[in-house]
Amino acid sequence: DAKTTQPPSMDCAEGRAANLPCNHSTISGNEYVYWYRQIHSQGPQYIIHGLKNNETNEMASLIITEDRKSSTLILPHATLRDTAVYYCIVRAAMMNSGYSTLTFGKGTMLLVSP
């Protein structure tokens, strides 16, 4: 799987947009970008994923650059409950690479403050 690089921590004021960057410069053309988050001592929660196009759901938006070497997860109106570790994962697309496996890095600790 392609490696990802994320800042170790970020701060965000409540009500403001949180923009979490992820670098995945070695991503292959058919590899997806997934985002999960983990609130302290809970199981990771799926947020969103994408391949090339920008994606939006009820939780967040995912912006992937045209060259696919980086992406940004956007939480449009951060709340205190969004405080968590956010993981950006590039998931192998080839079926013989164990396509059910998620390889987690260290993620970004997002602290949302009042």
Partner 1 sequence: KAGVTQTPRYLIKTRGQQVTLSCSPISGHRSVSWYQQTPGQGLQFLFEYFSETQRNKGNFPGRFSGRQFSNSRSEMNVSTLELGDSALYLCASSFGGYQETQYFGPGTRLLVL
Give the binding site for partner 1 (CB under 8 A): 32, 34, 36, 41-46, 49, 87, 91, 93, 95, 98-106
Based on the number of CB atoms within 10 Å of its own CB, is 42 exposed (0-12), middle (13-18) or buried (19 or more)? Answer: exposed
Work out how close the CB of 31 gets to partner 1 at its nearest, in angstroms, rounded to a whole number: 10
CA distance 86 to 90: 13
Tell me whether residue 42 or residue 67 sits nearer to partner 1 (CB atom).
42
**Would strands 45-50 and 32-38 be described as parallel, antiparallel, or unpaired?**
antiparallel
Residue among 44, 7, 32 nearest 22 (CA): 7
Work out how close the CB of 104 gets to partner 1 at its nearest, in angstroms, rounded to a whole number: 4
Token code pair at residue 44: 């990771």
Tell me whether residue 14 or residue 59 sits nearer to partner 1 (CB atom).
59
Tell me whether residue 1 or residue 82 sits nearer to partner 1 (CB atom).
1
Tell me whether residue 57 or residue 113 sits nearer to partner 1 (CB atom).
57
**Would strands 84-91 and 45-50 be described as parallel, antiparallel, or unpaired?**
unpaired
Work out how close the CB of 19 gets to partner 1 at its nearest, in angstroms, rounded to a whole number: 23
